[in-house]
Amino acid sequence: MSDLNSTVGALEIGNVLATYFFGIITLQTYFFFRTFPDDKPLVKAAVAVVFAFELGHTITSLHALYIVTVTDFGQPQLFVKLPNSIDITLLFEGLITIVVQGFFITRVQRLSKIHKIIIYLFWICAILRFAASVALTVFGIQTPSATAYVADWSWLLTTLFTLGAFVDLGVALALCAYLYSQRATSIAKTGILLDRLIAFTLTTGLLTSVVSVVTVISYVTMPDNSVWILMYTLLAKSYSNSMMVSLNSRPALKGSSGSNVITLSTMIGGSVNQPVHGNSRRPNFQSTHSDEDENHPVSISQVVETRTDSDDIFPPQKGNFKFAVEA
């Protein structure tokens, strides 16, 4: 019974959780296309591709469970080799990971303060991880037994999980370092928004890193059962969810610190013909006025806007100045 709990039982639990998370990802995808119809085509294509890969990942996982619990029911000798659909699941997980990691690496790449060598390192590790996923899929189909598969390719599996955790954690820390550097020159409300972005970035980045580390630990300590496959199945869902959350949470992050338009007003008495300097511009107000208008104040408002972009890292934009004559 203990063998069934750690093999078939682990597959069942993994599929139940994976199907649940696929439902969440489906709702998130629907919300994205309904809420952000004007996002860039490349971003929308990435979301559509990830959802298609998630659908394939879920179907192959359920197919493997059906083979083990229905088709091969009562034939424990067939458990020597797991169904080939499990190996195809590894391929879909690799495809999902490379798209999501590419999405976040591109965000880091847009930040001029991040050194290019770090960007290249992230890309190399992400590509190597995807190549390892493809290789493990092929080797899994060709290897006659699960025991031989683990014995021959355990080093490659460990490398795959390690590379994934390195990229996820590295990207999260790079984004947080950039956001923290912007905090020194920000005003109070923008600083609050940056703090929330830092916490949010760490949360989404650490989620996939933690799942990767737990998968490695499960594989190293329990290579003879399917617990590590359970964690590996959930790893793909954590990648997709982190990407969709980062896209769909933009309105919430944008409004998390109150109004995104922060106005600083200073009332200055004097002639409306007086030049006022702001944002490297010299507005010159020409008007005809009587002597009693001389005491009308000039309102100078500095508007600082924080904006979020669909494919950037939500950097605070430079302030702009608005001038108005108040009667």
- pLDDT band at 60; cut points 50, 70, 90: very high
The confidence score (pLDDT) of residue 204 equals 62
Q: Which residue has the higher pLDDT, 71 or 263?
A: 71
**CB crowding 256-283: b at 16 or more within 10 Å, else e:** ebeebebeeeeeeeeebeeebeeeeeee
Q: Do 286 and 148 contact (CB within 8 A), yes or no?
A: no
Among 43, 121, 38, 8, smallest CA distance to 311 is for 43
310: CB partners within 8 A, 6+ apart: 36, 39, 40, 43, 247, 250
Nearest to 259 by CA among 326, 192, 197: 192
- The set of residues, in sequence order, having a beta carbon less than 8 Å from that of 124 and lying 6+ positions away, is none
Average pLDDT over residues 188-207: 61
pLDDT in tens, 151-172: 888 889 888 888 988 898 888 8
Token pair for 222:
């329990």
The pLDDT tens digits of the residues spanning 232-271 come to: 888 889 899 888 988 887 776 665 443 333 333 333 344 4
State yes or no: pLDDT of 90 exceeds 80: yes
Q: What is the pTM of this model?
A: 0.72
pLDDT at 136 over 70: yes
For residues 205 and 199, give the distance between their C-alpha atoms in angstroms, rounded to a whole number. 10
User: Which segments of the chain does DSSP mark as H helices, in order?
Assistant: 2-6, 8-35, 41-66, 84-109, 116-142, 146-183, 188-221, 227-248, 250-254
d(CA 188, CA 190): 6
Contact 11, 226 (CB under 8 A): yes
Q: Which residue ranges form the domains of the chain, and what is each CATH number?
A: 2-248 (1.20.1070), 261-325 (no CATH)
Cα–Cα distance measured from residue 287 to residue 260, given in angstroms and rounded to the nearest whole number: 33
pLDDT at residue 189, rounded to an integer: 53
